[in-house]
Amino acid sequence: MPLEIFVQVLLSGVLLGGIYALVAFGLSLVYGVAHILNIAHGTLLAVSGVVASLIYLATGWHPLLIIPLMVAPVFLFGYVFHALLLRPLAHRGKHDETIGTVLITTGALIMLSDLTGFAAGTTQRNIPVGSGVFEFGEVIVPTAQVWILAGILALTIVLQLYLKHAWFGRAVRAVTQDSLGATICGVNGPRARALTFAAGSGLVAVAGVLYAIVYPVDPYMGFSLTVRAFTIIVVGGIGNLPGAMIAGVMLGVAESFTAFLWAPKWAPALSVILLLVILVLFPRGFSSWKRA
């Protein structure tokens, strides 16, 4: 393979992986803090992406303006969804809680997809921002993608710093490690869980807008992203954002090369197979021992 093509494929893989990582961040926090297997996580991205593309189509606003417009309602949706449906499950036995969570989030997945499909149609959409290109010799990269990648990196650093140093970030990490212990130390566990669920939803709205700039979205595409995000957090470590970033980029690059060297239709198989292999080799998660 010529070097410039190699670099081209690598770069598109890195970008794809960055977006995957962003999807995984929310899931990682939600699972780590609230112990919720949110099966509708990727679907929330799909819905956000569709709505954002409709807004763009109608107004032509800059995506940077659309992001906050999307984040606020999705954050609120996450908060209410958690408060009304998921929080009451906490007093059940562990197995019943898991089953309840799976049913509620799966039901939500079906509802979100169907309602969006009904209201906005099932066709694929995107946010066609015109953008120039950077040229590095033979390698051509659209500027928008570079900005997106930079944005994701900045967001990761901000989130990581927040989790490490802000009071609420520390509280969230404490709840991740030992919910009861954190509660005894004065952290409001239920509130931390609700806000984390809302924040995870808000993050996925950001990811939805960015995703729609680069790739097409439709109301039913979410679940495959959820599976990828699961893979990423299992590989990268639950609650571990840098780990998720590395795992996400690795997955994106691997998919990108699979699609290029073999066939695009096999790329989605990677995440599933990787998930199974990693779980077999490391039954408690790849890096569960080094939490964020």
Partner 1 sequence: MTKPSSIAYALVALLAVALIPLLGGPYLTSFVFALLISFVLAQSWDWVNGQMGYLNLGHYAFYGIGAYAFAILLTRDAGLAVSFAGAVAFATLAALLVSFPLFRLKGDYFAFATLAIVPLCELLANNLDWLTKGSDGITLPPHYVLVPAFYAALGLAALTLLVTLGLMRSRFGYALRAIRNDEQVAEVAGVRLFPVKAAMLAVSAAFAGLAGAIQAWQFSFIDPFTMFNLGVALVPIAGALLGGSGLLMGPLLGVILFASLQQLLLVNITHLQGALLGLVIVLIGRFLPGGLLRWKKIAAHPAFAWLARESHFEREMTAGGPAAGALPISEAVIDPERIVLQCEAATMAFGGNVAVNRVNLTVRQGEIVGLVGPNGSGKTTLFNLISGIYTPKSGRIRIDGRDIAGLRADEIAHLGVGRSYQIPRPFGELTVRENIAIGRTYGRHKTALPDAMEAADSIAAFVGLGDKLETRADHLSLQQKKALELARALASEPKLLLVDEVASGLSTVEINLFVQHIRAIRDRYGITVIWVEHIFSALSQVVDRLVVLESGSVIADAPLAEAVRDENVLRTYLGSAHGDGRTAEARP
Q: Which residues contribute to the site for partner 1 (CB under 8 A)? A: 31, 35, 37, 39, 85, 88-89, 92, 94-96, 98-104, 106-115, 118, 223-224, 227, 230-231, 234, 263, 265-266, 268-269, 271-273, 275-276, 279-280, 283-285
Least spacing, CB of residue 55 vs partner 1, in Å:
22
Judged by beta carbon, residue 99 or residue 154, the one nearer partner 1 is: 99
Judged by beta carbon, residue 199 or residue 221, the one nearer partner 1 is: 221
Burial class (CB in 10 A: 0-12, 13-18, 19+), 146: middle
Judged by beta carbon, residue 9 or residue 227, the one nearer partner 1 is: 227
Judged by beta carbon, residue 59 or residue 177, the one nearer partner 1 is: 177
d(CA 230, CA 275): 8
Least spacing, CB of residue 206 vs partner 1, in Å:
24
Least spacing, CB of residue 92 vs partner 1, in Å:
5
Judged by beta carbon, residue 116 or residue 145, the one nearer partner 1 is: 116
Least spacing, CB of residue 113 vs partner 1, in Å:
7
65 CB contacts (<8 Å, ≥6 apart)?
none
Q: Give the CA distances from residue 34 to residues 85, 175, 234, 280, in Å, rounded to whole numbers and listed in that order.
A: 13, 8, 16, 25
Least spacing, CB of residue 175 vs partner 1, in Å:
17
Least spacing, CB of residue 270 vs partner 1, in Å:
10
Judged by beta carbon, residue 72 or residue 273, the one nearer partner 1 is: 273
